[in-house]
Structure 1
Amino acid sequence: GEGEGDEETPETFMGHARMCFVGSLKGHEGPVWGLAYAGNSLVVSGSSDGTVKLWSLKTMSCLYSFTGHEGNVHTVSVQNGRIFSGSADNTIKVWDINQKLCIATLRGHTAIASSLVISDKYVFSGSYTEIKVWDLKTYQCVTTLKGHNHWVRALAIDRAPGGRLYSGSYNSISVWDLDKLECVKTVATPGGSVYCLLVSENRLFSASYDRKIYVWDTKTMLCRKSMHGHLQTVYSLCVSGSLLYSGSYDQKIRVWSLDRLMCLQTLSKHQGSIDALLAVDDMPDYDNFIVSASADHSIYCWASSTKRVITPHET
């Protein structure tokens, strides 16, 4: 049944307040694959319905739908008032949030633009066996990073000084120098395809086909631990405060303690695979606030608070 066994979870567990459902963002007419935060309580989503939507978390409503892609939108990222969206039409579109229009289309991929991440200079887009690097100012393709043998479904950036780009493909994770745009290391990973990567301080988390989350030391790229709990492939990860969140094909979100890597809570409401998770760290009144996007066409918001009683905006 819904939230099986969740009723027993105390109000706080190991010092963490329980996450509760607080509302939904309704409007997509297909699976939702990507989420990004635009600051100021604004969330961006990309869907199989071909649209990129801009939402207000204050009113839980859609402010605008960007249309123009000729295929599913698989990934979205936001930088400095611009939305970047990667699509099954093999392009990346750039949208101006204020002007509400498409200001550039990046062409060059010969397959789906399936993952996106942005550094201070470049846009990195993952596709079949390769990563394209685009200049953030001119939107020109600077180079193509090769070496993967399969889809590059996961990209992450370590934003610390001397940080790296991490890319995940089939049974492998590669580490790239952000200045030289060269591969500095590739490690074999068990578990098949890597669907999501996330950097948190000196750790890299990878979500994989085999239902596990692997924990890597970013300095050595040695695998330190594997986290078990999900019953199906893990597709999405995010971190908020001292908590890690994971979303899976098993339709559940798991909440983990970052220090002990223990599962604290399971969130059940979605009726489909959870393909994207987003942490929103500047919501007043909440300790933790996350957004989840699913193949069931829904986007749900979840939060915890030690300051106030949480009541859903709507169900």
Structure 2
Amino acid sequence: MEASGRYGNGNKRVHQRLEPAHATAADRAANNKVCYHWRAGRCNRHPCPFLHSELPAPQQHSSAPDGGAGLAKRSLVWKNPSAAGAASGPPSKWGKGRGGGAPGRPPGKAPDKVCNYFLAGNCTYGERCRYLHSWFISDSFSLLAPLQGHEKAVSGITLPSGSDKLYSGSKDESVRAWDCQTGQCVGVINMGGEVGCMISEGPWIFIGVPNSVKAWNSQTATDLSLDGPTGQVYSLVVGNEFLFAGIQDGRILAWKFSAVGNCFEPAASLVGHQLSVVSLVVGAARLYSGSMDNTIRVWDLATLQCIQTLTDHTSVVMSLLCWDQFLLSCSLDKTIKVWVTTDSGNLEVTYTHNEDNGVLFLCGMLDAQSKPILLCSCNDNSVRVYDLPSFSERGKIFSKEEVRAIQIGPGGLFFTGDATGELRVWKWLANDAPNS
């Protein structure tokens, strides 16, 4: 097969369609299709009854800023559903103006479709490939560098306060330290088990491994092991001077730091989830936990009692995020739900955003213009980038495998880690200029 045969440029076997002299308007309308075999680069019919060119884009006749496409949907005002499911309560701007095309997409390329052979490193078409040869689509951020070293999925990324090192944990049972100036790996620590999660609070780094939480002070090199978990530690969060850990057996364990003994003392065990606790977040004097039992539990930080159980998701609640007065949750049920506290004090869904794939992780940050952004990792090996609260598309990041960890950095930086073990360093652009 000729290299150019995929498009018909310079392929001597490809012919233009010849229209019969007696063709009627009905015939033309019926045959206004693009030849499937021409698209595949192997049409040998002469004359061919179908088009050997792509159909022109439909002309827009509206003077509206969005061309009039989907205007009715963009103008919807979402309302907070009552317990009965009927629209009630104050109006919300969630989802208003959502949609948009593919920012930063090169002209003539298939929309939002990255070349799988490019991702694998073996596409033979090069610049002539009709699919994207890029790790992202956006005019708002750029890829700075890949950091390679882990042999299995990256499960945690953190930047402890006062440190010039970036730390990443992996299912290859190691934690790696990266120099923030050079991007070089400057240290590898064997954890003796898969790293399920990793966070930092001040100079402390907390690492969840099977049957334990490791605590390490990056300034004093103090190394502690917090016992109590049974099984893998999947999630960690700090709030109200407690360290909380979501455990494989469904419990949430809490420790409190003792300055006298320079140690973490067991404080509580929160019981209620039936399966593993895989996501934790603290906000508005509450601890929120997401579980493989498809529920979200709301815990009062003062009493450590469960005050509400949310059952709207139909699959694993993978990640939770507090933004403004809202709680955002994502699930393998292919939805992101936005929750708001009602006058009764309970949380109810005010907006549901649907994805085509299961959603693995949520991360909120500000772009270079200080606008709120949501990064949403999906199990189709992509990260969707949205404006909040509109869910308008700002870009998309592609990866060889699922992105399991996302972390915010200083100066407009952010980091992603995928299931192949690769970290990538990204940066928001001061001016939304197209990237090469």
TM-score by length of 1: 0.85
Q: Does 1:306 align with 2:430?
A: yes
Q: Flag the 1:276–1:7 CA change in 2: closer, same or farther, 3 A.
A: same
Q: In structure 1, the residue corresponding to 2:264 is in which secondary structure?
A: coil
Bigger Cα displacement from structure 2, 111-120 vs 53-62: 53-62
Q: Flag the 1:309–1:235 CA change in 2: closer, same or farther, 3 A.
A: same
Q: Flag the 1:147–1:228 CA change in 2: closer, same or farther, 3 A.
A: same
CA deviations over 1:277-314 (Å, ceiling 9, x no partner): 1122x21xxxx4221111111111222212598999xx
What is the CA–CA distance in structure 1 between the aligned matches of 2:256 and 2:303, rounded to whole Å? 14
> Contact 1:36–1:278 at 8 Å: present in 2 too?
yes
Q: Flag the 1:56–1:239 CA change in 2: closer, same or farther, 3 A.
A: farther
> Contact 2:360–2:404 at 8 Å: present in 1 too?
yes
CA deviations over 1:157-176 (Å, ceiling 9, x no partner): 11x5xx21100112211111
Determine what percentage of the aligned residue pairs are the same residue.
26
Match of 1:117 among 206, 216, 237: 237
Q: Does 1:45 align with 2:175?
A: no
Partner residue, 1:254? 384
> Contact 2:157–2:405 at 8 Å: present in 1 too?
yes
What is the CA–CA distance in structure 1 between the aligned matches of 2:182 and 2:245, rounded to whole Å? 32
Q: Flag the 1:42–1:237 CA change in 2: closer, same or farther, 3 A.
A: farther
What is the CA–CA distance in structure 1 between the aligned matches of 2:199 and 2:361, rounded to whole Å? 15
What is the CA–CA distance in structure 2 between the aligned matches of 1:46 and 1:211, rounded to whole Å? 27
What is the CA–CA distance in structure 2 between the aligned matches of 1:58 and 1:50, rounded to whole Å? 25
Identify the structure with bigger relative contact order (alpha carbons < 8 Å, sequence gap 6+): 1
CA deviations over 1:24-60 (Å, ceiling 9, x no partner): 2222121111122324554322101111222233322
Q: In structure 2, the residue corresponding to 1:139 is in which secondary structure?
A: strand
What is the CA–CA distance in structure 2 between the aligned matches of 1:279 and 1:146, rounded to whole Å? 31
Q: Does 1:291 align with 2:415?
A: yes
Q: Does 1:96 align with 2:221?
A: no
Partner residue, 2:268? 143
Q: In structure 2, the residue corresponding to 1:58 is in which secondary structure?
A: coil
Partner residue, 1:13? none
What is the CA–CA distance in structure 1 between the aligned matches of 2:159 and 2:241, rounded to whole Å? 19
- Structure 1: which 5+ runs fail to align? 11-15
> Contact 1:240–1:289 at 8 Å: present in 2 too?
no
TM-score by length of 2: 0.62
Q: Flag the 1:56–1:119 CA change in 2: closer, same or farther, 3 A.
A: farther
C-alpha root-mean-square deviation of aligned residues, in Å?
2.4
Q: In structure 1, the residue corresponding to 2:362 is in which secondary structure?
A: strand
Match of 1:8 among 105, 108, 111: 105
> Contact 2:155–2:169 at 8 Å: present in 1 too?
yes
Partner residue, 2:250? 129
Match of 1:274 among 403, 407, 431: 403
CA deviations over 1:157-214 (Å, ceiling 9, x no partner): 11x5xx2110011221111111211111111122311011111111111110112211
Q: Does 1:22 align with 2:152?
A: no
Q: How many residues align?
A: 291
What is the CA–CA distance in structure 1 between the aligned matches of 2:334 and 2:141, rounded to whole Å? 22
> Contact 1:22–1:310 at 8 Å: present in 2 too?
no
Q: Flag the 1:311–1:99 CA change in 2: closer, same or farther, 3 A.
A: farther
Please state which structure has a larger fraction of its residues in strand: 1
What is the CA–CA distance in structure 2 between the aligned matches of 1:279 and 1:175, rounded to whole Å? 25
Moved over 3 A (4+): 4-7, 39-42, 307-312
- Structure 2: which 5+ runs fail to align? 1-100, 108-137, 367-371
